[in-house]
Structure 1
Amino acid sequence: MIYQFMEYELDPLNFSLKKNGENLEIEPQVFNLILFLIENHNRLVTRDEIYKYLWGDKSVLDSTLSNHIKNARSILGDNGQHQRVIKTVHGRGYQFVSEIKIITEHPALNKANRFPDVSPHKSIWITLVSIAFLSLAIFLIYPHFHVSDKVSGLENEESIKKSLAILPFENRSNLKDDVFFTNGIHDELLTRVSKIHQLKIISRTSVLTYRDTLKNIRDISKELGVSTILEGGVQRAGDEIRINVQLIDAINDKHLWAETYTRKLSVKNIFTIQTEISESIAKQLEIVLSPKNEKFPTQSMEALKAFFRATAAIDKNTNKGYQEAINHLEQAIQLDPKFAIAYAELASRYLDQIYLEGLPSETQISKAKPLIDIALKLDENSSHAYRVLAKLSMYQKNFNAGKLAYEQAIKLNPNNAEAIGALGGYYMYEGDIQKAVTLLFKARELNPKDDKLADSLSLMLLKSGRFDEAKDILTDIIQRKPDYSIAYRTLSDLYYFGDHDIANSIKTLYHSVILDPEFIATPLVLAMRYEDIGQTATSIKWLEFFLKIAPNSREAEITRADIYTLLKQYNKAFDIYLKEVKKHPYHLYSLLELGEKTGRINEAIARCRTISPELFFDDVVIDSRNMSTAFILGRNLKSQGKSEQANKLLQGSLKVARKEVYGGRQSIHYNWVARILLALGDKKAALKSFEQYVKLGFHSYAIINNPDYNSLHDNTEYQKLVSIMKSRLKLEQKKLKILESHGKLNLPDLPANTLSAN
């Protein structure tokens, strides 16, 4: 059954919404909402009915449904004013009012296989779970599909979405040390089966949460949003290996197929068994596989074992474990120089050290790049290798190449949740928050138990202004995992951007430091928060804390420069930035700002011309990546009488800054707009933008003390707005004192302020 209305076509079987024949990106729960309203278009649907249909017994805020209605209208070209598609009956509910044409025979099915008379959504989508970059578990409380009891009564199994979870295999060997081998067999099978394009496969991170579980199959299928489950076990004995598996229809609780494979222990036999299992799964689920001449990843048993041990080490989620993984991967490559996936994974480990350990990006990129080149030369169809290539491209600031590599990774393996989530991160960076959220929800559907992914989704929701939804997700994570430091860091952003509550943002960051004192980003954020409320000395202490835990970080010198800046030793800070921008061009803004403070602006502009010559071109292009540098450069060129180029830079920056944004990013939006307008000489428009900044609830001494606003200091309206901010900041300072008196901001061993005496 397909529903057509206006220029749209909604296909429940393939979970697609098209506009004039083109597929639209849509969040799963928004799709469900539209489908539910269409199915009941002949009547008004109450909010309670929608709550029950979408979220079952889960408790969600009213704003969550309101946001879903808003998003549904947006994707259908509708809005709350016109309501030509979805009509609101205030105090009662909603109704789908656009004229609908129903095509009863789906093109994918012949006449003998028409749908029975049940809700298409409930008969097809058996539990698509809450999807929520980048990091997050939010989705467990949040958008998720629930299994309808009607599903078990379906006679037409073809209407059920092809979906599978491969649960962790049981180690049936006598040796406990064989656990790593059993897990490795499971991982390889999961990788192989995930390449079946017509099949939705739950990712490794999520299925591993069910190791040694006592939950029944039906409950697991509901939680993961799948209709079938594969269980199995592995036993090594002497020179033989035995792998037994069984495929279960989780909805109807019946076995579909089972097999035991006993072979001589060899790499060839292991991968042959995995191929046979994949083909049997496809046959049972009535999926036609295209013929492929797929190569075995390695011919060496010892190399395969080393790779399995590397995976086990990564699962420890510690720096020590990551280093062990590097050692095992290097060994695997030494044992088999043609082991493509080992090269790709080793490259990924090197790149992750940039973020996790603060190692210099240039060094890590130089290590990773040749490994990725080899991996793709050995296996041009490796989805994982393309995902790592995308990661490399992002670190190289070659963003379009990264986007294309992520898309290729997804094309090769549509179940690559990591690539889908990372592509969402790309769109977030590009400013397309809605697409970013949609992709993260899609990734969450494939990886519903990954709390890092859930955290990333909450961050995206926060950036899009959907604060209540982000809070739901973070609250769920913290309730289940009270020691999960990542969620506290994102929660601090929610307090800061959503509630404008600096004190509680700081308190939450303190808790994150206690849980994970070696995570290098947290002290930098705390330094900014204390600068916001005017406590420079404490801000400096947190920067020094960063230097204590990451003395060799790529940001270490920049942090020293920032300390000198707070101490008003601007020339020392300038000298450091002048050197560091060669390696980190994104610090050009700070260099130019310090050039203004020290009277060394010509020196700063000369360095800017060397590093970013495109800013001096006649056809200069300004985007979100160079906007801040273009602004401050334009302001200084204007003061030097170079008005033509200055105007191009300032007008281009203004256009980027005025791009509509939502949520937390509004603080950046209105602040930048006001400052650029002042540089252009439009005080009236600048004051209006600054007024919006204050009305949204933002307050910061860093903004009050910014010399960019000096030309407004005599303006009465500006003075009133600054007075409002100062009152709020005094309240934040009082709240901090109360937290301190209650022992909420106690930390062991903060470093002494060693640089303050320099």
Structure 2
Amino acid sequence: MTASDPRRLMPMSFFSELRRRHVFRVAGLYIVAAWVVLQVADLGFESWGVPSSALRFVWIAALLLFPVALVFGWRYDITAHGIVRTPPATGSADLSLKTPDFVILSALVAVAALSGWWTVEQVAGNKDESRENIIARAIDPASIAVLPFATRSSVADTAFFADGVHDDLLTSLAKVMSMRVISRTSVLRYRDTEKSIPEIGNELGVAFVLEGGVQQAGENVRINVQLIDSRTDGHVWAHTYDRALTAQNVFAIQSEIVETIAAQLKMELTAEERRRIGRDRTDNLDAFREYTYGKQQVDIASFAALREAVDHFQRALEIDPQYVLAHAALANTFAQLAVTGAITPAEALAQGQSHLDRAVELYADNPFVQAVRGRYLSLADDPEADAVMKAATVAAPNDVDVLSIYATYLRIQRRGEEALEVLRQALDLDPLSAPLYHDLGRMHLALGQFEPALEAFERIAQLSPGNPYAAHGAATATILSGDLVEAAYWSEQALSKDADDFENPATCVVIYASFGDYESARRHADLALEMGPAEPYPLSSKALLLAMTGETQKAVAMARGALARDLEDRWGSHFVFLRLVRNAALDAGEFDEALALFQKYEPGLFESPPQITAGNLRKAVDLASLLQRAGPDQQATELLHAAIAAYEQQYTLGSANYPLGIAVVDALALLGREEEAVTRLRELADDGWRVLWHFDTNLNPSHDSLRELPAYQDILTLIEADLQRQVDTFSIPDIG
């Protein structure tokens, strides 16, 4: 048989040639050798401390080298004279397949099938791992999660006491700079869990897990703890502490636990870390309990919960006026109430500043105290705020509360990428925190990244079903993306989950009015004013509704009344009030009142050059329209050009502030650049601008020069048609 003989391609001839070239023998020897290597690796890796996952790489190497061995067996023979090329067939040798050959062939088929199955399993496993959002990373050996302490007592408030001990231990551990400590919000999700320690360690990305329990018996307390290596499920250390029930003893136990954990994790506490641990505590268990109750309410974060937190912190301070953390937490809660709109920033400063000052007096170097101080400086527009908060994050890189305060500040300052970096640092420490995912979603919204924002809010729904943050966030995202009918659904959900927040029904008014459901808007306007009769956002939403339904005089009267009371600016309420007064002034030809109100509320717009921000951009254009009629016209032109320049510099289509682009449309129309104005309006409409479109076009005197343009009317028709489509096709969404 020659090399070119086509019969060489026949299956039996091919297998006969494999036999002649000893390929079967090589394959058999390779399989046996590979099996031995894998067994040795399996046993050796465990004794050498090599992760078991490394065994897969030995498997991969064995599979990849198998074809190489077969090629070698085809081309070469191993003889007494060394390795030589396999000679051509002579035709005299018996090349028929024998029983051992069939055995080896069967083994080869089995190896191929096993390899294919193993590969598919690895791919499927990787997909499952991705679906479960498990991060493939090397686990930091100096990382720990402290599970909620079990309670083994019939004493009524032992559970709250155990939570307080657990929280304070976490706070103490977080002060060890070289230790990565998972924050409280995430570990609380493992209360009464049936998951194994390795599962928990894998989900949280930690090397060690501490679990324990608290038992009260009369005037004594027992605290037992055990430290477990989550990678091996092996117990590293355990101890039971029996002491008299005093604050000093409880905190001494915690300090001992911190010292022991640090030693087990092969680290040594610095003198400064030892000094910081325990310095901000109280000596009174009753004050400690009230502080713990307050922190639990802060975690809930609803209007009612925040007010209840204030009560608990105040009671803690009545018991122990020197309690540093209670002073700082109370000041921070007042600031949080201002963020939610429950009180004004001025009220927060008035009620919280004294507590902040006292906390600084008692312990000025405490990072949380400094973070709250920075927050108050930002409320007062003090430029020192940034440096103070940043220094606090450097001093306490494990303190999620400190990181969250700074991230919120960065978001408000429109420093989006910096804020995202700080939030990622916080989420690494608190990966199951709904509030942090809410902050992350809001940050993505500020950057105009609507899909990542919705993913963050979906994560909240998965972590904490029923949490209002998910609905709040989804409502904001869909408002900005122009999906107003879906936004109405999410706003209703937010209202049902946080019934004390009077701003929720006010938002519903704005949304329903935007797509013409005035009956629903009226119902929510009545509810908002019933809940917050003197609050700016309910008043401005009602005034908007009155204007959009033709009750202009009532709307203007409400606006004048609100401006006369110097109400806080919430969610653009000042813009609405000033817009309504401006419209009335242009209609009547009497400008003094309107100009005086603009001067009162936006004095920076009267400077040269005008001081234009995101908060007054639209008001700047409305003021310019007044000045065009009342004079001086040159000042009006300067304002309009400055407004356009400010928008172009700071915002783009797709950013969260893109709705401010309607101010550019107004400015271009007032400057007589109608074609450019219509082009900009079309860009906005295509990008999802829908909210209050009727108020900002048909009821806006700045658009008078555009109304007869067919292209302008086409855009309004497109918006109306899209909103009707949304009404007709809406189905309840699902974000988890």
Question: Which structure is higher in helix share?
Answer: 2
| Structure 1 match to 2:582 | 596
Q: In the TM superposition, what are the counterparts of 1:271-290 in structure 2 within 5 Å? A: 271-290=251-270
| Structure 2 match to 1:543 | 525
2:225 alignment partner, SS class = strand
For residue 534 of structure 1, report the CA deviation from its aligned partner: 2.8
Answer whether contact 2:145 2:209 (CA < 8 A) is retained. Answer: yes
1:259 alignment partner, SS class = strand
Answer whether contact 2:651 2:658 (CA < 8 A) is retained. Answer: no
2:695 aligned to which of 694, 697, 702: 702
Deviations 1:238-286 (A, max 9, x none): 4433333222221232233333333333322322222222222222223
288-297 vs 355-364, which moves further: 355-364
Answer whether contact 1:531 1:702 (CA < 8 A) is retained. Answer: no
Q: Which amino acid aligns with 2:695?
A: A
Deviations 1:603-627 (A, max 9, x none): 2222332343332222443222332
**Structure 1: how far apart are the matches of 2:567 and 2:536?**
12
For residue 533 of structure 1, report the CA deviation from its aligned partner: 1.5
Larger radius of gyration: 2
1:168 alignment partner, SS class = coil
208-217 vs 651-660, which moves further: 651-660
Q: In the TM superposition, what are the counterparts of 1:354-503 in structure 2 within 5 Å? A: 354=338, 358-394=342-378, 396=379, 398=381, 400-478=383-461, 481-498=464-481, 500-503=482-485
| Structure 2 match to 1:177 | 157
Q: In the TM superposition, what are the counterparts of 1:624-639 in structure 2 within 5 Å? A: 624-639=614-629
For residue 713 of structure 1, report the CA deviation from its aligned partner: 1.7
- For structure 2, the residue ranges without an aligned partner over 5 or more in a row are 1-118
Answer whether contact 1:180 1:309 (CA < 8 A) is retained. Answer: yes
2:128 aligned to which of 46, 51, 57: 57
1:297 alignment partner, SS class = coil
2:671 aligned to which of 680, 699, 702: 680
Q: In the TM superposition, what are the counterparts of 1:703-722 in structure 2 within 5 Å? A: 703-705=696-698, 706-722=700-716
Q: 1:441 to 1:356 in 2, by over 3 A?
A: same
Answer whether contact 2:174 2:181 (CA < 8 A) is retained. Answer: yes
For residue 572 of structure 1, report the CA deviation from its aligned partner: 0.6
Answer whether contact 1:581 1:587 (CA < 8 A) is retained. Answer: no
664-673 vs 704-713, which moves further: 664-673
522-531 vs 612-621, which moves further: 612-621
Structure 1 residue 575 and structure 2 residue 560: aligned?
yes
| Structure 1 match to 2:725 | 731
| Structure 1 match to 2:57 | none
Indicate the structure whose relative CO is greater, using CA pairs within 8 Å and at least 6 residues apart. Answer: 1
Q: 1:710 to 1:537 in 2, by over 3 A?
A: farther
**Structure 2: how far apart are the matches of 1:261 and 1:733?**
64
| Structure 2 match to 1:517 | 499
Q: 1:662 to 1:161 in 2, by over 3 A?
A: farther
Q: Which amino acid aligns with 1:711?
A: S
Q: 1:654 to 1:161 in 2, by over 3 A?
A: farther
For residue 168 of structure 1, report the CA deviation from its aligned partner: 1.0
Deviations 1:591-648 (A, max 9, x none): 4322322225322222332343332222443222332222322333344333444344
**Structure 2: how far apart are the matches of 1:527 and 1:680?**
33
Q: 1:410 to 1:572 in 2, by over 3 A?
A: same
For residue 345 of structure 1, report the CA deviation from its aligned partner: 1.8
Identity %: 26
Count of aligned pairs between the two proteins: 598
2:642 aligned to which of 648, 652, 668: 652
Q: 1:397 to 1:678 in 2, by over 3 A?
A: farther
2:501 alignment partner, SS class = coil
| Structure 1 match to 2:178 | 198
For residue 551 of structure 1, report the CA deviation from its aligned partner: 3.1
For residue 707 of structure 1, report the CA deviation from its aligned partner: 3.1
For residue 508 of structure 1, report the CA deviation from its aligned partner: 3.0
**Structure 2: how far apart are the matches of 1:583 and 1:459?**
22
**Structure 1: how far apart are the matches of 2:305 and 2:318?**
20
**Structure 2: how far apart are the matches of 1:510 and 1:423?**
31
Q: 1:315 to 1:690 in 2, by over 3 A?
A: closer
**Structure 2: how far apart are the matches of 1:559 and 1:690?**
24
Answer whether contact 1:466 1:663 (CA < 8 A) is retained. Answer: yes
1:330 aligned to which of 314, 327, 336: 314
Q: Which amino acid aligns with 1:657?
A: Y
For residue 221 of structure 1, report the CA deviation from its aligned partner: 1.3
For residue 182 of structure 1, report the CA deviation from its aligned partner: 1.5
1:291 aligned to which of 261, 271, 277: 271
**Structure 2: how far apart are the matches of 1:713 and 1:240?**
80
- For structure 1, the residue ranges without an aligned partner over 5 or more in a row are 1-47, 61-140, 152-159, 745-758
TM-score of the superposition, structure 2-length normalised? 0.73
Answer whether contact 1:661 1:669 (CA < 8 A) is retained. Answer: no
**Structure 2: how far apart are the matches of 1:633 and 1:589?**
11
**Structure 2: how far apart are the matches of 1:454 and 1:55?**
25
**Structure 2: how far apart are the matches of 1:592 and 1:583?**
13
Q: 1:604 to 1:324 in 2, by over 3 A?
A: same
Answer whether contact 1:578 1:591 (CA < 8 A) is retained. Answer: yes
For residue 380 of structure 1, report the CA deviation from its aligned partner: 0.9
| Structure 2 match to 1:123 | none
Structure 1 residue 304 and structure 2 residue 288: aligned?
yes
**Structure 1: how far apart are the matches of 2:205 and 2:164?**
24
TM-score of the superposition, structure 1-length normalised? 0.71
1:389 alignment partner, SS class = helix
Q: 1:301 to 1:693 in 2, by over 3 A?
A: closer
**Structure 1: how far apart are the matches of 2:689 and 2:284?**
60
Q: 1:572 to 1:316 in 2, by over 3 A?
A: closer
**Structure 1: how far apart are the matches of 2:124 and 2:683?**
39
For residue 309 of structure 1, report the CA deviation from its aligned partner: 4.0
Deviations 1:19-77 (A, max 9, x none): xxxxxxxxxxxxxxxxxxxxxxxxxxxxx99x9799852567xxxxxxxxxxxxxxxxx
| Structure 1 match to 2:95 | none
Across the aligned residues of Structure 1 and Structure 2, the Cα RMSD in angstroms comes to: 3.3
1:665 alignment partner, SS class = coil
Q: In the TM superposition, what are the counterparts of 1:200-215 in structure 2 within 5 Å? A: 200-215=180-195
**Structure 2: how far apart are the matches of 1:212 and 1:351?**
34
1:165 alignment partner, SS class = strand
Q: 1:583 to 1:455 in 2, by over 3 A?
A: closer
**Structure 2: how far apart are the matches of 1:717 and 1:654?**
22
Answer whether contact 1:201 1:446 (CA < 8 A) is retained. Answer: yes
Q: 1:630 to 1:145 in 2, by over 3 A?
A: same
